[in-house]
Structure 1
């Protein structure tokens, strides 16, 4: 494990774009306007969420300042997309493409918590989903992205990757991008196991959460069995092969248990969450709402891998990225202080340095 130094990775200067339109990461997940209801409290409306939003957040955390345009972001919205929310997106200074559908409502969801602990919850879409069409990447800098994130069904990911490669070939883009796949929770059940394993063979990172993976294999989980079961199931997935030439990675995001990273030829490793056992004073938890933590992890992982080429180091980026997503409801606050960028008042790379120093 390489701990980032103050002179390079802590400032993000070790990523050097070849030209302005280099794109390091693009999520093709959703941007959703959530209404959040907590018992006994006034509902919160127009809270930006969705897998694409949080994955993009994770990547943006590690692309500060002049590197922010190297973050690609494409969203599809309706005629009711709030101007303040759009302005907030532009404030991140990404290479942003907003497709507006004048005759449609934006994708909206209802997130209802069952109690005031931000624990058990129910979610449903309240408008038709406006997903980004793959063909929309044509003619944009995002088609040359070094990494892509998808949350999709197994059949959908096969189709979308085939479309992506066809478009890149048409534009004579020979580099193979990093493909990160979160299987859609709706398709994490035993009936879809074989198709999920087939789809995992064409992606570079297969990343369900622990509950989804257990459901795929019809395994019952208890707090005591999570680690043992995840290690066994990850090995079973790897047996079938993840990625081209079976060189891909399984990353199981397991909430308060941390994450488990496994690949052929790699000593598998559990990494703790940033807020959790072994974090000393940080055990006095600042966790408010875990929504979006897993998506944020994967966006941050992508940048960590682009920077280091090391899957364990990249997972450390993911764990730190997720920590910023859970400190509040919605997206963390970004500010410039004393010539540097901070999120929730904290330097992202300082937190990464502290976390990596703690776990080695």
Structure 2
């Protein structure tokens, strides 16, 4: 196993213009796994599903090339499902459509949920609540010898103490917030200052996601910092692009140890996610197109620490 992602939700999306898309496979895990799978052969997905998983979602999972032995099928609980209400200014509001106990049961993460071969993965990516980041689970993943990448599910709901912040930022080797999430942790600032503050508080590798403005990536050991441009394409739905970026970034970092290339891998993965509602269809030529997009983007990466 190369990489593992966590979590699966069925999204019912309401767009700013009132259009809807119901029963979309989401939740971060499939999107992250897509970003990983673009660059790696063996990618696993861990999560809980019910017998109500939509047929279209099941079909995508079966045809995606992902290893799905990490998916647990419950006879007691439904598949996690939520409204995703998108605003014109980019804000997103999530409203759960299933009972609270089902959310906890289906989205909980335990080591015993990992098939044996998943424990040999080179990298894991997971989302966390900033105030309760499940540090013991992350520590256990790192004990397998893997690289662990973390993204916040949302901005912090309260200020974190200095100790809490350091524990969060140093839990995994990679920390990838968006600008709003970063500002909630270290205060509002320009991207480079956000990165500087995150590193000062304990982060090793930072991938600051900036939506349509790309990303700023940094490694603390050398100070190397790059602005990664987005790939120019028709944006239909940005939902899940950040997750795909995280999956691609992790794959690139593990495979190359090059923070610039890792950022470019992430940007390419994100570019596929925005081109339709939900996940891209399975296409045999996507690897070739990914390499083409990587070549196009390389010239636009700008080093910021020189």
Query: What TM-score, normalized by structure 1, do the two folds share?
Result: 0.75
Instruction: Give the corresponding residue for 2:23.
Output: 46
Instruction: Give the corresponding residue for 1:26.
Output: 4
Tell me whether 1:354 sits opposite 2:296 in the alignment: yes
Q: 1:165 to 1:249 in 2, by over 3 A?
A: closer
Is the CA contact (8 Å cut-off) linking 2:186 and 2:198 kept in structure 1? no
Moved more, 176-185 or 259-268: 259-268
1:169-195 CA deviation, whole Å, 9 max, x = no partner?
xxxxxxx21110112315364246641
Q: Which runs of 5+ in 2 are unaligned?
A: none
Moved over 6 A (4+): none
1:5-42 CA deviation, whole Å, 9 max, x = no partner?
xxxxxxxxxxxxxxxxxx111012x2111111236656
Q: Distance in 2 between matches of 1:90 and 1:152?
A: 27
Q: 1:94 to 1:209 in 2, by over 3 A?
A: same
Instruction: Give the corresponding residue for 1:76.
Output: 48
Tell me whether 1:104 sits opposite 2:104 in the alignment: no
Is the CA contact (8 Å cut-off) linking 1:188 and 1:212 kept in structure 2? no
Is the CA contact (8 Å cut-off) linking 1:274 and 1:323 kept in structure 2? yes
Instruction: Give the corresponding residue for 1:231.
Output: 192
Q: 1:269 to 1:79 in 2, by over 3 A?
A: same
| Secondary structure at 1:57 match in 2 | helix
Aligned partner of 2:63 among 91, 107, 127: 91
Alignment RMSD, CA only? 2.3
Q: 1:192 to 1:56 in 2, by over 3 A?
A: farther
Moved more, 106-115 or 48-57: 106-115
Q: Distance in 1 between matches of 2:8 and 2:120?
A: 21
Report deviation, 1:94.
1.9
Report deviation, 1:80.
0.7
Q: 1:257 to 1:42 in 2, by over 3 A?
A: closer
Instruction: Give the corresponding residue for 1:10.
Output: none
Instruction: Give the corresponding residue for 1:3.
Output: none
Q: Distance in 1 between matches of 2:65 and 2:236?
A: 27
Q: Distance in 2 between matches of 1:49 and 1:213?
A: 23
Question: After superposition, where does 1:88-167 map in structure 2 within 5 Å?
Answer: 88-97=60-69, 98-114=71-87, 119-127=90-98, 128=100, 129=103, 130-154=106-130, 155-165=132-142
Question: After superposition, where does 1:1-360 map in structure 2 within 5 Å?
Answer: 23-28=1-6, 30-38=7-15, 43-63=20-40, 67=41, 70-97=42-69, 98-114=71-87, 119-127=90-98, 128=100, 129=103, 130-154=106-130, 155-165=132-142, 168=144, 176-187=145-156, 189-191=158-160, 194-219=163-188, 229-242=190-203, 248-264=204-220, 265-275=222-232, 285-336=233-284, 341-342=285-286, 347-359=289-301
Q: Distance in 2 between matches of 1:38 and 1:149?
A: 28
Number of matched pairs: 294
Q: Which runs of 5+ in 1 are unaligned?
A: 1-22, 169-175, 222-228, 243-247, 276-284
Q: Distance in 1 between matches of 2:90 and 2:125?
A: 26
Is the CA contact (8 Å cut-off) linking 2:218 and 2:259 kept in structure 1? no
Q: Distance in 1 between matches of 2:148 and 2:247?
A: 11
1:160-216 CA deviation, whole Å, 9 max, x = no partner?
1234356x4xxxxxxx21110112315364246641322212310111110111122
Q: Distance in 2 between matches of 1:42 and 1:214?
A: 31
Larger Rg: 1
